């Protein structure tokens, strides 16, 4: 079962962004939108080097694979326990949806 699913339909993309608080993901080539509630699952499922920003463009964290690279202490405390459980195989990750950030230009 694929754990990362890209939403490509423009109407579904807009609905996705409006339905929850979102974060911006930059992988060095493209930028994506994910739900804030899917952050840990996205880090684990993506398993690549990415930088994640808040909607206002403020830096949140960066990763190397599914390991945290740079992150504030407070933000780390919010996600580290679940991320470790996923890394150790103690928990199953959930399916994570994402879409290209270009949809934000049209909203």
pLDDT tens by residue, 18-31: 999 999 999 999 99
What is the model's pTM?
0.93
- Please state, rounded to an integer, the average pLDDT across all residues of the chain: 95
Contact 102, 8 (CB under 8 A): no
pLDDT tens by residue, 36-48: 999 999 999 999 9
pLDDT tens by residue, 7-20: 999 999 999 999 99
């Amino acid at each position: 079962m694929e754990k990362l699913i890209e939403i490509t339909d423009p109407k579904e993309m807009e609905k996705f962004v409006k339905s929850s608080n979102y974060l911006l993901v930059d992988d060095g080539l493209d930028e994506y939108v994910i739900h804030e509630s899917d952050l840990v699952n996205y880090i684990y499922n993506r398993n690549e080097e990415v930088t994640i920003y808040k909607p206002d463009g403020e830096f949140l964290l960066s990763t190397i694979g599914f390991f945290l690279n740079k992150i504030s202490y407070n933000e780390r405390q919010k996600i580290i326990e679940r991320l470790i459980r996923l890394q150790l195989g103690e928990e199953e990750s959930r399916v994570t949806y994402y879409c290209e950030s270009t949809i934000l230009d049209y909203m």
